[in-house]
Structure 1
Amino acid sequence: MIRTLIRPLQSARVIQIPIRTTVIVERVHPLTKLRPWENIYDYSKYKYIDFQYRVVRDTDTEKWGNIDVILAEYVEGVGYKGEIVNVPREVAYRELLPAQLALYPTKENIALFEEERKLLVDRPQISPFVMKCRDYLKSILLQIPMNLKLKDWSVTRDNIRIALRRINVMCDEDAIMLEENAVNQDTYKLGEEFNVVLKINPLVDVAIKCVIVPVDKAKLWDEYQLSKRKPKS
């Protein structure tokens, strides 16, 4: 079975992706009985109801599940060269295998990457979820609420931790690499961005872009008190 995909704005370029599929059917009605001397391949002997089927199983509409592949190159967030990984079939058939980034884990292909597989024993293993977390934190601009009306203020690790918690990222203060009093009323200009390094694990860290958002705590407290006085509808 071959599907033809035409990319938008590139109507002249046609990509054909071979897809293996299986469809299992069964007859709706029992087959008409023929006499012993009649030819079973003479379709004129059959009735219309003899060609009615119902689909029992269609592998093309089922969930694909996962498949094991051996990586031919390093793929970020998936694994190292020579590593056998279990990935969704959709990712394997549409991304890894067509681009020759992975192969089926046959005996010949495993032997082909024998040297790389020996190096994997001493190489630290990094979870794909760690890399996704790193990519997410690299793409955000972390807003740090701060009361700038105070005479002496500075950004602390606790401020960073609370700001991360507001975007559903939990971490310990020890994982935040920030020098004490590095960002304060003397060194920071309003609207200026600065970086804070977060250690996701002993092997991976990420620099997060941060910006301070002025917050008047007294005003917020007054609004909170007013909201409590409003009658519930």
Structure 2
Amino acid sequence: MFRTLIRPLQSARIIQIPIRTTVVVERVHPLTKLRPGENIYDYSKYKYTDFQYRIIRDTDTEKWGNIDVILTEYVEGVGYKGEIVNIPREMAYRELLPAQLALYPTPENIALFEEERKLLVDRPQISPFVMKCRDYLKSIVLQIPINLKSKEWSLTKDNIRIALRRINVMCDEDAIILEDGSINQDTYKLGEEFNVILKINPLVEVSIKCVIVPVDKAKLWDEYQLSKRRPKT
């Protein structure tokens, strides 16, 4: 049992990424004056107060800001190969540059990707926020409230649009791909998940997992009337 615990530890690798930083300090007390001819490197002649410093600036705690890099490969949510992008320094120093996914945009490095940069003119540009929105919608289960007490009900694009608006995602009904009447009281079982296609833009679309949640309209109306009667604080 002891050996099985040790073996994974022996194969573990620690990768150290050097980070350049600068700390500017000043002395708290004036330096002790030495007599002419005394060795300035003889630290026994100094007081402990001579080694007390006050930090004026620490670049490791400051905001790093952004930096321009040229991508050597396609990075999802960042850009294409050969593209010069402006990204946070923390992302560049800790992720892209150590993995050689990006280089500094020197004239030599730009010349290496001259052919790829010519292709970027005709390539459609996709915003990083579009990819983040797609990843977010892929990770959720959208709850669509439907009044199941109605004898005949069917899921419409308007129901999906309202459910998306409840999670602060605004879209038009034209962006929702759903066959009208495909999900109704006869084809749907309570708790069953289904997928709906949403077109974020003409180039990117996402499949969203959805589930129908029963809701009582009469109960919601009563709660709405009660909320209006409550005194505002």
Q: What TM-score does the superposition give when structure 1 sets the normalisation length? A: 0.84
List runs of 5+ in structure 1 lacking aligned partners. Answer: 1-7
Q: How many residues align?
A: 226
- Name the amino acid aligned to 2:55: V
CA offset digits 1:164-210 (Å, max 9, x no partner): 11111111122112222122223323222222111111111111111
> For residue 54 of structure 1, what is the aligned residue in structure 2?
54
User: 1:129 aligns to what SS in structure 2?
Assistant: helix
Q: Which residue of 2 aligns with 1:144?
A: 144
What displacement does 1:223 show? 5.5
| Separation of aligned partners in 2, 1:230 and 1:114 | 67
The aligned residue for residue 154 of structure 1 is: 154
Find the aligned partners of 1:18 and 1:200 in 2 and give their Cα distance.
40
Q: Tell me the equivalent position of 1:213.
A: 213
Deviation at 1:34, TM superposition (A): 4.7
After superposition, the C-alpha distances for 1:119-178 in whole angstroms (9 at most, x for unaligned) are: 111111111110010011111111111112222211111100111111111111221122
What is the CA–CA distance in structure 1 between the aligned matches of 2:224 and 2:36, rounded to whole Å?
92
Amino acid at match of 1:186: D
Measured in 2, the distance between the counterparts of 1:231 and 1:45 equals 75
Give the whole-Å Cα distance in 2 for the aligned partners of 1:54 and 1:201: 54
Whole-Å separation in 2 of the counterparts to 1:231 and 1:222: 16
Q: What's the counterpart of residue 116 of structure 2?
A: 116
TM-score with structure 2 length normalisation? 0.84
Task: Give SS of 1:159's match.
Answer: helix
| Equivalent residue, structure 2, for 1:87 | 87
2:176 pairs with 1:176: yes
Measure, in 2, the Cα distance between the counterparts of 1:180 and 1:95: 45
- With 148-157 and 76-85 compared, the bigger mean Cα shift is at 148-157
Secondary structure in 2 aligned to 1:14?
coil
Q: Name the structure 2 match of 1:70.
A: 70
Q: Where does residue 102 of structure 1 map in the other structure?
A: 102
Partner of 2:188: 188
Larger deviation: 30-39 or 189-198? 30-39
SS of the residue corresponding to residue 16 of structure 1 reads: coil
